[in-house]
Amino acid sequence: MKKILSKTLLILGCLAPSLFAEQVLVNNDFKSGLSGWSTQGTGFTAVAGSDEWGSFINMNITDGGADPWNVKLYQDGITLEPGYEYTMEWGATRASGNIAVGLGMSADPYTDYMSDRIEFSGSYLEHTTTNGQAVTLHYCDAAVSGLRFYMDLGGNNASARIAWASIGKTAKACDGSGGELTNPGNGPVPYYGELKVSGNRIIGARSKSAVQVRGMSLFWSLWGGEKFYNASAIQSLVQDWKVEVVRAAMGVDQDGGYNTNPEEQKALVSTVVDAAIANEIYVIIDFHCHVADQYSAQAKAFFGYMAEKYGKYDNVIFEVYNEPLAISWGTVKNYAVGVISEIRKYSDNLVIVGTPNWSQDVDAVVSDRISATNVAYTLHFYAGSHGSDLMAKARTALNSNLALFVTEWGTVNANGDGNVATASSNDWMTFMDQNKLSWANWSVHDKVEGASAFVNGISTTGSGWTTWNNLTASGQYVYSKLTGYASSAAWRSAPKETSIAAPHVSKTGAVIMNLRQMEYQLGTPNAHEALLFDTQGRLVWSAHQPSGNGTYHYGSMGILPSGAYILKLRGIHLEQTVRVSVP
């Protein structure tokens, strides 16, 4: 009975990390043999096996050499991301000697971020959270990729059995609280904050953790696509389709596009951006052109206007070149550098740059990247036409510490038509999830083609957008993915900030708001401090309010951007927090 109980606890210990944390290692329980694992050294064999208690790897050692690294079982390609706590646990059996495990660099200077060691004498031993011997790391520095998890058994000829290994990953705030990050608003933007490039990841300036947002791209702002550029459509995508990002794909060099009708096109884009800000999601302002380098002056004028108008909002992302054709990366880069310099006059927000060959040759950037900060690169794919070869290009870019954003992808063929390539789409979903790649699906339209989300004739303002028969096969696939992912989004499950906290309300009276005039009244006048924070928690205004007649102003009308804010009032017998707005 004791043996059975011990084995049961072993199995539970192995499973616990995957139940309560995201598992970083591939095939950490060896159920797929050595898949995902590699070995280093010559004086041993690594053999997968299993018994009634589970799977394992037998390390049959005949010559362990002089050093621990002479016999190594390892896994490469691991990334540490800020805003997470990592927990390393493992279990093994060995007749004698030790096993050293760790997570670190596999080349000079061989820095270890986590390390552990167990001395064995013939019995099974493990280091777990349950027995208090797990190794944990709360990581808050810049993302670092290309790390190796290793298990070193050299310097000893005693064979060993590796039962399991785990690196679990759970979100943990890097704001100094050490606790779970709250969401001061109702969308992803208040939770994550402005998007920032950190290594090969895009992180939230507020959350300090890797961000993966998913959503929809609107069709060209022409040819009927413009009818979906309205606030009701965006709100329906947020509420019903659970999008976290939308993309406004502004036509440029076509009839009626920006080059010939700039005011109308700017107005269409502004409608989408305003709606995204109101719904607290991210929005991509896309210069949707295949030859944008030929219109550098127009691009600078457009992005200068948009950056000055919207660059202060964390919601906004600038995509300066949709899909360059078969031109050199140098040509794209020269164009992008000029446009970025215009944007940077007004905003430090994320900029995404297209890559040659329809934004597929992301590997072309590796040796000649843009030096400006907070720049990511565009990866586009259509599941019916693109697969492992394009994924390999993306891996090359990621392994070279480039950040990617999938601003457009389709479930069908590259021409925008055809049947849904379900298996390939699923493969791409897995690839994007593994690499934390944000994405926008093409497209919100009712055009009669495979990539459209809706059947022809659908309402343009959201009515019937969740009725199954109103969705195309592509729409059904993407809708199911978006709504399925929603339940696991960290910002949705994060604790909300208390909107009103008044422990001494009986002495001060209720706070009565006049949002239109940016005023508030206290039932009992009371000298106090008033502090106004934006939804990212940044102090934007403060004042000492004397007792007066009980009516007070907050903020500065006409100076602060319109939107939601948090007003905190502090004084004797007064401690209240109220959600307010600036008109």
More confident residue, 174 or 2: 174
Give the bridge partners for 544, in sequence order.
529
Q: What's residue 410's pLDDT?
A: 98
Q: Give the lowest-confidence range in 177-181, 436-440, 483-487, 543-547.
A: 177-181
The answer for residues whose C-beta is within 8 angstroms of residue 395's C-beta and 6 or more apart is none
Q: Could you read off the pLDDT of 299-326 as tens digits, one per residue?
A: 999 999 999 999 999 999 999 999 999 9
Q: How many CA atoms lie within 13 A of 77 on its CB side?
A: 12
Residues that are catalytic:
323, 408
H or E stretch at 72: strand 72-80
Contact 163, 56 (CB under 8 A): yes
Beta pairing, strands 38-40 & 404-410? unpaired
How does DSSP assign 371-427, residue by residue? -SSSEEEEEEEETTT--HHHHHHHHHHHHTT--EEEEEEESS-TTS-S---HHHHHH
CB count in 10 Å sphere of residue 549: 9
> Where residue 489 falls among pLDDT bands split at 50, 70, 90?
very high
> Which domains does the chain show, CATH number per domain?
2-171 (2.60.120.260), 213-493 (3.20.20.80), 505-582 (2.60.40.3080)
State if pTM tops 0.75.
Answer: no
Beta pairing, strands 351-353 & 316-319? parallel
Q: Give the lowest-confidence range in 35-44, 183-192, 415-424, 512-521.
A: 512-521
Residue 319 to residue 234: CA distance in whole angstroms: 19
How does DSSP assign 288-347, residue by residue? E-S-GGGGHHHHHHHHHHHHHHHTT-TTEEEE--S---S--HHHHHHHHHHHHHHHTTT-
First to last CA, the chain: 70
The radius of gyration of the chain's CA atoms, rounded to the nearest angstrom, is 27
Sheet with 511-514: strands ordered across: 511-514, 519-522, 551-553
Residue 472 to residue 451: CA distance in whole angstroms: 8
Contact 534, 221 (CB under 8 A): no
Alpha helices (runs of H) in 180-325, residue ranges in sequence order = 188-192, 231-239, 262-278, 296-310
Contact 179, 95 (CB under 8 A): no
Burial profile 259-286: b = 16 or more Cβ within 10 angstroms, e = fewer: bebbeebbebbbbbbbbbbbbbbbbbbb
